[in-house]
Structure 1
Amino acid sequence: MNDEINSTQILGAIIKRKRTQMNMSQETLALNAKIDRSYLSEVERGLKHPTFPKVLAICEGLEMKISELVFLFEEDYYKIK
C-alpha cells in the first residue's frame, strides 16, 4: 500500500470517527471549522490532502487538540504497518 494514501485515509477516518462520536453532522463540523462541507467529506473519505491550517481548523471544530489527533493517528498508522 502507498504510505501517502494510507496516511490520508487514516486521517480522514479519525476525523470522521471523532465527529460521529460527538453526534455531529458534517455540516456542523464544516461550519465550526469554517470549511466547505463537500471538502470535509472528501477529507473524511481520504480523497483530499488537507493543509496544516485546515487540519487545525478541523481540530478546533471538533474541540480537540492537535496533539490528540496526532496521538490517534500514530495509533492507527502503526496498527497498519
Structure 2
Amino acid sequence: MPINKELLDKGIKYLLYALPLMFIGPSVIYNAFINKENVWHYLVLAFGIVFCFLAVYFMFKGIKYLTDALFENDK
C-alpha cells in the first residue's frame, strides 16, 4: 500500500496552517469580550470568529488530504 507523498505533504501543510489559528482565534475573541467599551469591539470579534472558522476549515481539509494519501485505492 503506497503512500502518496504529495497529498501527505499537502495535508501536513494545511494542518500546520490550522495550528496557530487554533490559538489566535480564541485569544482574539477573548480580547474582544474583555474590551466591550471599545468602538472596535465588533470588528475584533468578527476577526476572531473568522480565524476560528479558518482553523476548522484547514483542519478538515488537512485531515481529508491525509486520509486520501494513506487510504487511496489503486484505480
Q: Which range, TM-score by smaller chain?
A: 0.3 to 0.5
Q: Greater relative contact order (Cα 8 A, min sep 6): structure 1 or 2?
A: 2
| Bigger helix fraction | 2
